[in-house]
Chains A and B, each alone.
Chain A
């Protein structure tokens, strides 16, 4: 597990084979489709990273993994805030499908607190509201919700028809805020906006920033205060990280958004450092908090033992405290010690096996670290809804062309807060950090960490997955619910990285152990061997 002791395996991938795989994937497509897909499917070169087509429109008629802006906003970023009441404004479906289907686990402060994640609330728009407008029904729904539940805050989410019929959800929210005396705010996150969930993340970031962050000037007690951004507590991931950080003496004020409460979000601006897990879904917030409040941000990765250790060291380095650095080293040594026998036992069985990951806007990258820990090779990877910077690194941001779909998503102008802006480091401290090689905003993307001639495929289609399996035979694929059973019908185990197949946590050292054992289980599972019964094997032999 320690790179200085065990050099990574020296598997080399063949350039011609990689190119042939992609060519084969493109063959079935009509020419226009092939032309577009070819920009999104590349042979990797970590040295001269090629430009990938990402965050572009999904091609109609392609079996895609992608979802919508509403899902990215309500489902991913805001949904996990457990003590605000969430109302979907629209026909019933959108509210229904985003009800408990993401596994953002929650522990309320007290047993008697209401966990709104267990509730699906919707205006259940019917034809009458489509014709005559839905604002009245929305206003009434907010009032009824308040009367029944008396929440701290209410959040409203627009679905496709709301935008088309022109309901002004923001003015309904403002009026309700005045009437009820609690915070009420709305998101124009209609599903047709943008090209994927990603637009919803951006809209959600803007809303959280405008309506929550900075509302409570009450810093947590405790030293080394940070926020963990882009961590959603799927399967309890955030709790593992939180426990680990606490053990080191680091205080997490807010985890956005995993098991997080309204007041924690409102005081998120009181920390000294933002750490970013999922860069795609939340880098906007980190940027805005830096501009307004002076909080610097760094990229961290608590997926994989190596990544976790590196991230802890980086946080410690930022605070420039020997006490913290020493404690972090102690914790890493202890946790690595506990993890080692598990890893070694698993590694002996799975080393050299191959994986392909097609998921999300960060996991297809970060989970490669777990496979690397185990000595497994990632032969292909791609995101569902990420942008070029998540593939090629943040250095390409200035060169990304802003297309019409992106232009439609609001960019809010953020200015330095005249009172609460505070530089977290003196120029001398910054210099010392820089001299030590410390970097901020340092996401270099997936491709620089993948081997030469591996495949990078954005928004992979069903057909391309089929071809990948047929031609490259990965031993395991990480994907989501819609692909899982297709892949498994082909006899390849598929680990869901949205829901974790109802397992987890997979973060930190404890989570890494869970993941190693899970992958070991999946690769050792007997069932795949029995697909062809004895008599059919006989027949095959006879025929031959």
Chain B
């Protein structure tokens, strides 16, 4: 398993090996699916669309729809205007969405297709029916990562749709970031417990975790509605959960409409969830109910009961920057030691924030943006860790390192199912993560320990 990976670290500047990121359009596609009645559209070669739909499907085990401009060599020479025109006509005629969210690809970006003017012409030519919307985001694959793509499409929702009517609405915008449908559902549940009115956008719950009913709906009941998106300009404030995936849209709302942007971190773990609850309480001017305090208390009780298995354990983490920042906070709350922390995405905020978090508790920690799993693996070979946390790609490293305890976290998870049902955000999500971590340690111990230390009770 991965036996070309050696402990010796040779200089590497040009070659990416086993990436911890992918390209922008897949994030844009995922965000688009969080709008109710939306057909995502990939403007480029059809392979991009096929890859992105497949990647999202492997994680979600759900229908993931998206159309494509299906560029040929001809469109690559003459531009993709004709393809997008034809596509829009077909999409509205055959699939009848309320809105089409176009994202670009490296191909259409290099060609330089101007999406707004193509769409304008298509509209004038009658390819876009009255009352239907077409929005777009530029998502070149050679800039940023899938997280950037999510951020750009989320920002496009504001750019194209948000309005200020002058009549303030008693609601708070919440941007959840590139999290699972179940996480979005959990954020809405928490807000519901608080009796806070929120507009969550995008919102893939009830779009990408639909029930088995024997009936397929191309546009299921979930997703942020266009009306809701329009109303975000009238909201009290925007809570952006994550510097990377959510901040740009929140800042755009602040710049355009003066809706204050509060950029927080993903509510993973105790204090990050506290921050979210507190921010929401303040903006929505509501009281935190006893039910939330009890949920929180049950989480702390779990930590105090099981903390002995966690204390001081060395952890390596790979993932998306917003996820990793919050996870590091949580692991520190558990008295664990995140010693190697990487993100495949770029952005100085990641390194600065994680280093700030770790400077007292784990001063020896290595933290790196724009890193890859190959490098992380080499670090682990040089200085072993007790636990690895990452997406499914990381499981190869866990196996290569003598069945290193491994917890799946983030995107994509293609070989297990918990992420489809159980959130990792909020106090309940934190309980689930602790359960996963403890199981990883104790299952390994139960498999490998000598008989005399095989315990009935732990």
Instruction: Give A residues with C-beta under 8 Å from B.
Output: 28-30, 32-33, 57-71, 87, 90-101, 111-116, 118-127, 129-130, 137-138, 140-141, 143-145, 147-149, 159-161, 163-165, 191-197, 404-405, 408, 462-463, 466, 481-482, 484-486, 488-491, 527-528, 531-532
Chain A residues with CB under 8 Å of B61's CB are 485
Asked whether B138 is an interface residue with its Cβ less than 8 Å from the other chain, the reply is no
Question: Could you list 21 examples of A-B contacts with CB < 8 Å?
Answer: A30-B94, A32-B86, A60-B68, A60-B69, A60-B87, A62-B67, A67-B51, A69-B47, A71-B47, A94-B51, A97-B52, A100-B393, A101-B58, A148-B6, A164-B107, A192-B45, A192-B72, A192-B73, A405-B73, A485-B62, A528-B214
CB distance from B93 to the nearest CB of A (A): 5
B 29-51 contacts with A by CB, 8 A = 41, 44-48, 50-51
Asked whether B18 is an interface residue with its Cβ less than 8 Å from the other chain, the reply is yes
Interface flags for B60-80 (1: CB within 8 Å of A; 0: not) read 011111111111111110000
CB <8 Å contact, A62 and B90: yes
CB <8 Å contact, A148 and B62: no
CB distance from B350 to the nearest CB of A (A): 17
Output the nearest chain B residue to A483 by Cβ-Cβ distance. Answer: B63
Asked whether B290 is an interface residue with its Cβ less than 8 Å from the other chain, the reply is no
Tell me, in angstroms, the Cα distance from A147 to B12 when the chains sit together. Answer: 10
CB <8 Å contact, A58 and B2: no
CB <8 Å contact, A68 and B93: no
Chain A residues with CB under 8 Å of B58's CB are 101, 481
Asked whether B10 is an interface residue with its Cβ less than 8 Å from the other chain, the reply is yes
Q: How many residues of B contact A (CB 8 A)?
A: 81
CB <8 Å contact, A92 and B107: no
Tell me, in angstroms, the Cα distance from A68 to B69 when the chains sit together. Answer: 12
Output the nearest chain A residue to B415 by Cβ-Cβ distance. Answer: A502
Contact of B90 among A59, A116, A121, A481 (CB under 8 A): A59
Tell me, in angstroms, the Cα distance from A70 to B93 when the chains sit together. Answer: 31
Output the nearest chain A residue to B43 by Cβ-Cβ distance. Answer: A60
Output the nearest chain B residue to A488 by Cβ-Cβ distance. Answer: B212
Chain A residues with CB under 8 Å of B213's CB are 489, 531-532
CB distance from A233 to the nearest CB of B (A): 18
Chain B residues with CB under 8 Å of A127's CB are 140, 142-143
Tell me, in angstroms, the Cα distance from A140 to B11 when the chains sit together. Answer: 11
Asked whether B182 is an interface residue with its Cβ less than 8 Å from the other chain, the reply is no
CB <8 Å contact, A58 and B70: yes
Chain A residues with CB under 8 Å of B89's CB are 30, 61
Chain A residues with CB under 8 Å of B26's CB are 93
CB <8 Å contact, B141 and A92: yes
CB <8 Å contact, A161 and B106: yes
CB distance from A171 to the nearest CB of B (A): 17
CB <8 Å contact, A68 and B142: no
CB <8 Å contact, B216 and A91: no
CB <8 Å contact, B86 and A112: no
Chain A residues with CB under 8 Å of B111's CB are 164
CB distance from A155 to the nearest CB of B (A): 14
* 10 tightest A-B CB contacts, nearest first: A68-B47, A93-B23, A61-B87, A61-B90, A114-B4, A140-B14, A91-B141, A124-B16, A531-B214, A97-B51
CB <8 Å contact, B48 and A490: no
Chain A residues with CB under 8 Å of B141's CB are 90-93, 161
CB <8 Å contact, B73 and A193: yes
CB <8 Å contact, A192 and B142: no
Asked whether B84 is an interface residue with its Cβ less than 8 Å from the other chain, the reply is yes
Chain A residues with CB under 8 Å of B46's CB are 58, 64, 66-68, 191, 196
Chain A residues with CB under 8 Å of B217's CB are 489
Asked whether B13 is an interface residue with its Cβ less than 8 Å from the other chain, the reply is yes
Output the nearest chain B residue to A91 by Cβ-Cβ distance. Answer: B141
Asked whether B53 is an interface residue with its Cβ less than 8 Å from the other chain, the reply is yes
Q: A60-B70, A69-B47, A127-B143 known; A29 and B63 CB under 8 Å?
A: no
Most chain B CB within 10 A, of A99, A114, A144, A463, is at: A144
CB <8 Å contact, B17 and A119: yes
